[in-house]
Structure 1
Amino acid sequence: MTFQKVIAYQTQPRSTRNITADISHIIAQSAIRTGICHIFVQHTSASLMICENADPDVRRDMETYMQHIVPDGDPMFLHQDEGPDDMSAHIRTVLTNPDLTIPISDGQCALGIWQGIYLWEHRTHSHQRRIVVTVQGDK
């Protein structure tokens, strides 16, 4: 069986948003007990990640590291149509994940105790982001 839903978020600039509860709710709606949940962000300047869910310093450190390796406005970037954070946001997405696949066991995300699912906004402005969630498996 397959179940699919699209969810939208208004992001904050350069931030992470915990979407674990929303994904868990969609899995519950699907009534699938064993299978997989595929999550895909339909944008080229935001990504998804499974990350530490207890200490927000981990996500801040991820952002700090990303700013270090992919600085905004680097003169080597030709593409800056939407500002100095344009190409750096695209590179951040390529280096991370526009999609995730998570196992479903007993009707729930089979995440580890310290894992959460996050939408990671790479632009320096708020954006409306769409995520397609597809749940497949057996009831």
Structure 2
Amino acid sequence: MYRAKELTVATRGRGFHDITGEVQRAVEESGAQEGLCTIFLHHTSASLLLCENADPDVRKDLESFFSRLVKDGDPLFRHDAEGPDDMPAHVRTVLTQNSLSVPVKGGEANLGTWQGIYVWEHRTSPHHRRVTVSVVS
């Protein structure tokens, strides 16, 4: 059995947007008891992250690290058609991921105790991001 659901995530700009609940609902609605859930983000300037969800400082520290690693407006980059965060957003995406796989067990995404699923927006302005949640059982 294969089921897919498309989500739209409205971001507020750069930062993390928790989609764990929406992914869990998509898995539950699929009716699968065992299988695999794939989450795919259809963009090149945002990414998906499976990250600790208990302490928000983890996500703040990740953002601080990436801000140091890939600076907005860095003169190294020529691609800046949409502003100084344009190419840095693409670099951040390439260094992370746009797809996650999570096992399905007992009718739900079988996440660890402290794991959450996030869309990590790399652009500074708000966007609507398209995410497909596919479940195979």
User: Normalized against structure 1, the TM-score is what?
Assistant: 0.97
User: Normalized against structure 2, the TM-score is what?
Assistant: 0.98
Could you list the structure 1 runs, at least 4 aligned residues long, displaced by more than 3 angstroms after superposition.
Answer: none
Aligned partner letter, 2:122: H
Pairwise CA RMSD of aligned residues?
A: 0.5
Q: 1:99 corresponds to which residue?
A: 99
State how many pairs are aligned: 137
Whole-angstrom CA distance in 2 between matches of 1:127 and 1:5: 20
Residue by residue over 1:26-58, the C-alpha shift from the partner in whole angstroms, topping out at 9 and shown as x without a partner, is: 000000011110011111000000001011110
Q: 1:8 corresponds to which residue?
A: 8
What is the SS of the residue equivalent to 2:24? helix
Whole-angstrom CA distance in 1 between matches of 2:55 and 2:78: 37
- What is the CA distance between 1:13 and its match in structure 2? 1.2
- What is the CA distance between 1:93 and its match in structure 2? 0.4
Whole-angstrom CA distance in 1 between matches of 2:3 and 2:78: 41
What is the SS of the residue equivalent to 1:58? helix
Whole-angstrom CA distance in 2 between matches of 1:97 and 1:85: 18
**Percent identity at matched positions?**
50
Whole-angstrom CA distance in 1 between matches of 2:115 and 2:7: 21
Summarize the alignment of residues 16-31 of structure 1 with structure 2, pairs less than 5 Å apart. Answer: 16-31=16-31
Q: 1:69 corresponds to which residue?
A: 69
- What is the CA distance between 1:9 and its match in structure 2? 1.3
- What is the CA distance between 1:105 and its match in structure 2? 0.7
Whole-angstrom CA distance in 2 between matches of 1:39 and 1:74: 31
Whole-angstrom CA distance in 2 between matches of 1:54 and 1:22: 18
Whole-angstrom CA distance in 1 between matches of 2:14 and 2:103: 28
The gaps in structure 2 that reach 5 residues or longer are none
Residue by residue over 1:9-36, the C-alpha shift from the partner in whole angstroms, topping out at 9 and shown as x without a partner, is: 1101111011101000000000001111
